[in-house]
Structure 1
């Protein structure tokens, strides 16, 4: 069983963390490695995650998981949101495991490069909060309100192999934004291509008729790392209810590397046993 805790949120299904946990489980012998493909499941708060790990010469070279159903409702597309200091911004809202505000970076004059990280985070958090205030959403099957995260995306392009590709930058909260306190207009970036964000954007592209079932989608992060997403089939989310929506079942493939083996301890005399925060990036 797994649970991912970020700086300001608990994630009920984090794709990139699941890739890492799958690699760890296989490397540590917690799951017997079978070449060329090992299949198993990890338990997360959002339910069981089915894993397929491609293994070669005793190493994990690719991990693919099937994520929860993603969707983008027609009424959540092409929204016009009024954002302080920015004016009106066109956004879409899509679900890929979290409720994403999706924004074309060019619409707000942003280039998705690492040196623009601070401005990307600031503007992204402002747009997300404004969207949540003006266009709140919820999941059709259970009480999960949003939007709670944002993804800037570049223009999509066709690769020589025919796959669709794009670049993104995902903005997460690191505090509670207050419009009367500009010092709180901050956020933080996901350095990965973001798995649930990839699923949400694939659902949006499918709703626009730009990404077909079975077609690969190469999604690149702000630092150049990549996930390969694919829509496996169309589904109905909340079937049999008045809130049912058409969605898609996505998979995401990627890699992970073990970078550290650590032991965390807590001394009973430590004055900060639960940690601390200061007003820097948090």
Structure 2
């Protein structure tokens, strides 16, 4: 018999977005940083991503986070994010889920009350604040990436839709930000498919017309994401609430509002004078799940006011499992897996 290749998994979700945490079964990856290990995985063993996001093991709406040893001694663990569109260097919901899994797997002891630790993402170190109540992880607050508005209130004609006004933010990837009401949406669950179709058309039109470059990182790829913004409602001094929906891939609207989508909203509201450091925005998804974004500071970097921020959400563990990988299965693509998976 051929030896089986197995993976140990912890499935979690934050705001409805399922993140499948790979806790074991993958050997050491080449690379002196988590970013370099991510690039190795992307270029030489992409079969791990496709295996866990495609039939028969998964679906495109999920995400995968591979736990790896941290390369920075200040971090307790590293993690590599894999989604249907590729390898984002950062994600708020994936970070919330990974931090929860690190606690639930015992890599960091769960202490009652608040505790702090660091994770190492492909984008660098991420500060985590975990709140534990009665032995359960009640909330995770993580740093969002520094976010800024690259383009403010541009417009273009989109086939089948008409003239669309949009802004473009960077918050870990480039986001188009559009007003939901102006496009005829109330951001209800019944609109999910129409939102995905509309977002796809707008993203394709923007990609066909323009390219975007980060002021410090340079080319980080084409604009992949779109965030629908509902009306902003003040709920207290310095506290706001807004319905939201985030598109990430053809046919896929995230179950949550996403951490990076929320960070993008903070950058836009700051630029437009509607938020200042210390203010908070609660974003509400089509499924009534919520993230809270806090604008912590604003710094000028080049010509851009760059917003530093924190995202708070809660992740739930929904499954622990081992899966068996059989490369003879015609439904399975094992591209590069033999290089990285352990056998039993």
Deviation at 1:197, TM superposition (A): 0.4
Contact 2:238 2:275 in 1 (8 A): no
Looking at structure 2, the residues matched to 205 and 6 of structure 1 have their Cα atoms a distance apart, in angstroms, of 28
Deviation at 1:34, TM superposition (A): 2.6
Whether 1:215 and 2:279 are equivalent positions in the alignment is yes
- In the alignment, which residue of structure 2 is the partner of 1:10? 87
Q: Deviations 1:65-122 (Å, cap 9, x if unpaired)?
A: 112100014xx11111110111111111111111110000111112211111111000
Whether 1:129 and 2:204 are equivalent positions in the alignment is yes
What is the aligned counterpart of 1:201 among 225, 249, 265? 265
- In the alignment, which residue of structure 2 is the partner of 1:24? 101
Deviation at 1:160, TM superposition (A): 4.4
Deviation at 1:32, TM superposition (A): 1.6
Contact 1:192 1:225 in 2 (8 A): yes
- In the alignment, which residue of structure 1 is the partner of 2:134? 57
Q: Deviations 1:174-224 (Å, cap 9, x if unpaired)?
A: 3xxxxxxxxxxxx31000120000000110000000111101111111111
Deviation at 1:273, TM superposition (A): 2.4
- In the alignment, which residue of structure 2 is the partner of 1:278? none
Contact 1:170 1:197 in 2 (8 A): yes
Deviation at 1:272, TM superposition (A): 2.8
- In the alignment, which residue of structure 1 is the partner of 2:229? 153
Whether 1:235 and 2:299 are equivalent positions in the alignment is yes
- In the alignment, which residue of structure 2 is the partner of 1:163? 239
Q: Secondary structure at the match of 1:264?
A: strand
Q: Secondary structure at the match of 1:261?
A: strand
Looking at structure 1, the residues matched to 239 and 305 of structure 2 have their Cα atoms a distance apart, in angstroms, of 24
Stretch moving more, 99-108 or 2-11: 2-11
Higher strand content, 1 or 2 = 2
Deviation at 1:135, TM superposition (A): 3.1
- In the alignment, which residue of structure 1 is the partner of 2:19? none
Deviation at 1:10, TM superposition (A): 2.0
What is the aligned counterpart of 1:173 among 249, 265, 289? 249
Normalising to structure 1: TM-score of the pair?
A: 0.86
Looking at structure 2, the residues matched to 61 and 256 of structure 1 have their Cα atoms a distance apart, in angstroms, of 8
Looking at structure 1, the residues matched to 81 and 258 of structure 2 have their Cα atoms a distance apart, in angstroms, of 14
User: What are the ranges of 5 or more consecutive residues in structure 2 without an aligned counterpart?
Assistant: 1-77, 335-344
Looking at structure 2, the residues matched to 27 and 266 of structure 1 have their Cα atoms a distance apart, in angstroms, of 25
Normalising to structure 2: TM-score of the pair?
A: 0.71
Pick 1 or 2: higher relative contact order, CA cutoff 8 A, min separation 6.
Answer: 2
Deviation at 1:162, TM superposition (A): 5.0
Looking at structure 2, the residues matched to 268 and 208 of structure 1 have their Cα atoms a distance apart, in angstroms, of 53
Looking at structure 2, the residues matched to 267 and 145 of structure 1 have their Cα atoms a distance apart, in angstroms, of 34
Contact 1:169 1:221 in 2 (8 A): yes
Contact 1:69 1:235 in 2 (8 A): no
- In the alignment, which residue of structure 2 is the partner of 1:226? 290
Superposition CA RMSD, Å: 1.5
Deviation at 1:165, TM superposition (A): 0.8
Runs of 4+ in 1 over 3 A off after TM superposition: none
Whether 1:108 and 2:188 are equivalent positions in the alignment is no
